[in-house]
A and B are shown apart, each in its own frame.
Chain A
Amino acid sequence: MKKYAVLHVPEFRLQSVLRYLPEVRKEEPAALMEVQGSKLRVGEVNAAAAACQVQLGMSSTQALARCPVLHMVAANLGHERSAQAALLQTAEVLSPFLESTGPGVVTIELPPERTFSTEDFLGRIVVPLQALGLQAKVGMAGTPDLALLAARRGNPVYIVRNAAAVLSPLPVSVLQPSEELAAVLESWGVRSVAQLVALPMTQVCERLGPEAVELWERARGGRVRPLDLVKPREFFVEEIDLENFVELLETLLFLLRRFLEQLTTRLGNAYLVAGKMRLVLRFEDGSSYQRVFTVPQPTCDVDVLFRILHTHLENFVSESPIVGLELAAKPVRPGAEQFDLLEKGVRDPHQLAETVGRLQALLGPERVGTPQGDASHHPDGFVLHPYEGVEFSDEFDESPLLGVPWLRFRPPVPANIVLNDKRPAFLYSSRTTGPVSDARGPWLLEGDWWESWNWSREEWDIATEDGVYRLVRDGSDWFLDGLYA
């Protein structure tokens, strides 16, 4: 027999914002304000605010008149997405079959061979979510609808063992009928679920239509339906759409630290660590900046992860203020690493990663890394990979190395050459000027002839009083390409 559990976060939108405001304690009254019509009105309230008679639809003035110490917060879509993702990832510890039923509601198809107790749900769902700042309720039943109903009534866990016994005494309103249908049932004197179930289904269908049938089925505990399964996201994401633009590094770092605390708690709940981080900054002018950081030794240590971000952002400059922020962590399993007996490891991989980050901040990310010659025949063709982004090679090329290398001028130095019998005889350039005492060449090279960027060049080694240079002719232009030094 199938079993379902539902995670339900009451006042989900409010909670998803409040979890980033630890200074607002949960026993303090708080309300979520949203634009209704043209006015700002109360959209959701917590229990403390409801106890102060703050009601939905009130204007901010009315709400403050009822409760002067009320915390009013604005809805944030980014926070809601993060909170929903956190719910799904927490639910994954029970089963991989998950449905994101709605905002703040996740339905789980539990493995039928396992039994679950209240303590299981408390320890694996409720407490981890509390650590993330979300007060969740859990319900378990034989159908998704009944499990949702149980979750709404959970304190914080409600396991339904006998559907009829649970449902019968409840009022019809718990089944959430439409206003019109509720009015008809009220006029018939049908007030409890037991009274509704006692009605014959065909008669209900004939008189009240398909909506009533659905309600009648819910009253009997609902039906087993296939879940609309969601694929767990590859990254753990925290994001925010900012009301007040961020212009200072300190503010940005403050937000990132909060995000990291949330992310590491979520990763810890799933027994995972961060292997990579992705930072996305969205600017006022519509542009965005994205950067992926590889964590040298995957970890959940907030300080280590924060240092990686801090080092990178120290020298970051943008033309527009930041209006949105997203930080994602790629989860990996911790600690399953087998070191090579002969490979010399580094003492502190995090320190090394930070140093690489500092070098990139000093020189630019495109100027620091591990070089690899590219597949072309161009003498200066190479690709710069991120450090440790290239697999260490243990198979060395034993073939003899040909030719003495030279140090390149980047960019090449323009030169004027006087030829004598088609060989360089005198050199004029900003680096050196003088007679060419000896020359070897020409070596003719060409490549990529099938592409628009095809190239061909003629190379010479020339000896001057200042040293031995590599000389290149590209078309009719001469350049000093490098120096044997």
Chain B
Amino acid sequence: MAVIPDKILQLRQLLEARFGATELKAEESFSTGFTALDEVGIPRGALTEVVSEPASGPGGTLLLYGLLHAVAQRKERVVLIDGKDCFAPKGLPNGDLTRVLWSRCRVTSEAIKAADLAVRDGNVPLVILLLTLNPASELRRIPATAWHRLQMVAEKTAVTVLVFTPRAQVGCARLRLLVGGAFPLDALQLCRDEVIPALNLQIERRRIGRRYDDEKICSASCA
């Protein structure tokens, strides 16, 4: 558990005394149908960051395609903002893609604008922002305020936003997951259902309600 400095606690008490305590609402989870994610509990109307380092193997892609497959089975619509035009439709059967709105961006700034439009719309309950292949230099240039704005819009429209990044990027994400797992080269050609159990999801950080009481590193493996 992170240690919160006394001054911060005093400041919070002072603000609560003056403006009233913030009511913490029980966090509602978005049910994806993908067991690994549902066990973790994806917060509805918030940003969730899925960090998938390229060197750690195909966990992020496996999670993305598994999630799209599961969501399609539930007849749910999805907006996929593809930050580097890297999504391969042939990785899923056509039936799984009929409710997917795929936006093929070229650069990161386009992806952020597109995500803002999709989240602001509020009609599609799940927006996936795929930034895994976007260059680090572009990702670093995204101002923190852009993520905060996206978080606030998502809260307002109750849209669940999953941001796939190659390294921790979204400071205000309500939940940050680290994707890992051991995937030998031989496993890449196996049936996908046989590979998914090797997927390892770790909660790097979870924020509850609007209070920034960080629960540091609760690890949970879905294996």
Q: B-contacting residues of A (Cβ < 8 Å)?
A: 342-344, 346-349, 351-352, 355-356, 358-359, 362-363, 367-373, 379-382, 384, 387, 390-397, 400-410, 438-440, 461, 463, 465-468, 482-485
Contact = CB atoms under 8 A, between A and B. Distances in A.
Interface stretch (B22-30, B36-44, B85-93, B139-147): B85-93
Contact of B91 (A342, A347, A405): A405
Contacts of A440: 185-186, 188-189
B135 to A, nearest CB: 10
Contact of A403 (B56, B132, B188): B188
A159 to B, nearest CB: 54
B95 interface: yes
B114 interface: yes
B121 interface: yes
Contact of B114 (A348, A359, A409): A359
Contact of B103 (A348, A367, A401): A367
A280 B181 CA distance: 54
B118 interface: yes
Contacts of B55: 465-467
Given A362-B114, A395-B95, A485-B166, A373 B90 contact: yes
A485 B58 contact: yes
A218 to B, nearest CB: 63
Given A369-B101, A372-B89, A407-B132, A351 B123 contact: yes
Contacts of B89: 371-373, 382
A370 to B, nearest CB: 6
B198 to A, nearest CB: 10
Interface residues of B, number: 65
B166 A407 contact: no
Contacts of B123: 346-349, 351-352, 355
Closest 7 CB pairs of A and B: A405-B91, A484-B58, A371-B89, A467-B54, A393-B95, A397-B93, A355-B121
A461 B58 CA distance: 12
A372 B57 contact: no
Interface in B84-126: 84-106, 110, 113-114, 117-118, 120-124
Given A356-B101, A370-B98, A401 B77 contact: no
23 contacts: A351-B122, A355-B121, A359-B118, A362-B110, A363-B103, A363-B114, A368-B101, A370-B98, A370-B101, A371-B87, A371-B89, A373-B89, A393-B94, A396-B93, A397-B96, A401-B69, A404-B58, A404-B187, A405-B91, A407-B87, A465-B55, A484-B61, A484-B183
Interface in B12-65: 52-58, 60-62, 65
A402 B121 contact: no
B4 interface: no
A335 to B, nearest CB: 20
Nearest to A401: B192
A46 B121 CA distance: 51
A344 B33 CA distance: 15
Contacts of A484: 57-58, 61, 183, 188
A397 B88 contact: no
B133 interface: yes
B1 interface: no
Interface of B: 52-58, 60-62, 65, 69, 72-73, 75-77, 84-106, 110, 113-114, 117-118, 120-124, 130, 132-133, 166, 183, 185-193, 195
Contacts of B86: 407-410, 482
A406 B191 contact: no
Given A344-B77, A358-B117, A403 B102 contact: no
B61 A352 contact: no
B73 A396 contact: yes
A391 B97 CA distance: 11
Contact of B124 (A346, A395, A439): A346
A362 B187 CA distance: 39
Nearest to A390: B98
A405 B72 contact: no
Contact of A485 (B60, B98, B185): B60
A380 B133 contact: no
B94 A372 contact: yes
B75 A344 contact: yes
Contacts of A348: 122-123
Nearest to A398: B93
A381 B94 CA distance: 12
Contacts of B121: 351-352, 355
Nearest to B120: A355
Given A346-B123, A367-B104, A371-B100, A381 B75 contact: no
B114 A404 contact: no
Contact of A483 (B54, B95, B102): B54
Contacts of A395: 95
B73 A467 contact: no
Contacts of B104: 363, 367-368, 384
Given A397-B93, A405-B88, 18 more contacts: A344-B75, A349-B123, A367-B85, A370-B99, A387-B101, A393-B95, A397-B96, A401-B93, A402-B191, A404-B187, A407-B132, A407-B133, A410-B85, A461-B185, A468-B188, A485-B132, A485-B133, A485-B166
B102 A342 contact: no
A368 B73 CA distance: 22
A359 B81 CA distance: 10
B126 to A, nearest CB: 11
Contacts of A410: 84-86
A396 B77 contact: no
Contact of A371 (B53, B54, B75, B102): B102
Contacts of A461: 185, 188-189
